[in-house]
Amino acid sequence: MKLYSEIHRPQFHFSAKENWINDPNGLVYCDGIWHLFFQHNPESKIWGNMTWGHAISHDLIRWEQVEHALYPDEHGTMFSGSAVIDHKNSAGFGKGAMLLFYTAAGDCVLPERPYTQCLAHSTDNGVTVQKYGGNPIIGNFAKGNRDPKVIWHEESKQWIMALYLIDNEYCLLRSRDCKTWERFQDLTLPGVTECPDFFPLTDDSGSLRWVFWGAKGKYLIGSFDGSKFVAETETLTSECGSNGYAAQTWSDAPDGRIIQVSWMNKGLYPEMPFNHQMSIPVELSLHGSAKDVRLVRWPVKECESLRKKTLRLNTQQIPGWKSPLVIEIQSDLMEVSLSAVRRASGRLHMSIRGQAVIIDWEKGELVYQGHPVALPNSQTIEVLMLIDKTSLEIFLNKGLVSASFPFLPGAYLNPLELYSDGQQQLEEITVHELASIW
């Protein structure tokens, strides 16, 4: 079958041409190009032989997979990491060099070798990548320490690295040249391991806040002055679904945007040449202030370029299951949005290509495949769903709650039907048929 037209191939999410992928790595924007490096096994559809794959895009939506960037070496296989643009030539590879930081997973090569942190660079916008001759740049702190996330902190004029250690423990390091690093603070993110991220956002009061993020979509919001991160919230949850993991943000994104993408794990791709996919990129912002601040995730505006055909329905009374409301659109790829006033009881059922998404008003939950997602505490619930061949992403109340799920269709007559237990009124329903990026 023609590449990218396979029956279970995601059509507007990135997936590798073939074989296994997991964490997004080295996310960086440079000279009009969005770079997506990713954990990849070039030899098999199962995990192993970790190598950095590489894809590029001009719009965050349509991707082209190019040559692999990093292959295993004497230090280990190539585990997760990050990338930045060295505008000031602090590392000595030239102004504007792309710096890539990664974990060399030593014991995947030799059992006695530890995990260490390494550096590579590119002076041609990622076309060719060269490993630093002085690797590793950071030795071993704890068994399996990994996933270096590096950012530039302008106020203190230094590079900051967030690094996973062990269990729920992380640390922060600093450097002037990206080669010599000092560990200066240890952090705990309860219930979370792996894949830290660290980035600033402005809250509704205009205050600059810092977000410390972990692989499971849990995070802390606090302050950072270049020498200490101080958490000002309890551990909060942003990803409420079952398969969003290892999310990372792009460095050097234009216009100050903070754009994030996740690995969608636990998906099913029966007898496909590839295994797993990435989420849709989302833009991050903060809602609220002080201790009531929360992270908001919303699909990037570039997603609108996928819309082909639109159907809008105004106020609708949703009938019972014997005569469901059938939405007159025939597509595997959809963007569905609706608005409903909260009820005291009953349920709203949405059948999407034969799979049920249920809003249980009494329990205050949205449920998919037995996985509950708590509804926002508001009188009106706004729902946005992005439906691809093998994934379902849900955003509630402009992204205050977000959840991603693996998806395979069931049997159905119509791609989209709605029915309710009791009387249910929807204020608005909008459905966009979406185009393939391939």
Which residues are the active-site residues? 23
Number of other CB atoms surrounding residue 111 within 10 Å: 7
Contact 424, 317 (CB under 8 A): yes
Give backbone dihedrals phi and psi of 254, rounded to 5 degrees, phi first: -70, 160
Which DSSP category does 324 fall into?
P
Distance CA 315, CA 345 (A): 20
Q: Comparing C-alpha atoms, which of 76, 67, 77 is closest to residue 37? A: 67
Cβ of 225: how many Cβ atoms within 10 Å? 11
Cis-peptide into 136, omega within 30 deg: yes
Which tokens hold the place of 392?
């379902």
Which residue in 63, 365, 353, 402 sits closest to 244, CA to CA? 402
The Cβ of residue 362 has, within 10 Å, a number of other Cβ atoms equal to 11
Phi/psi of residue 301, each to 5°?
A: -60, -25
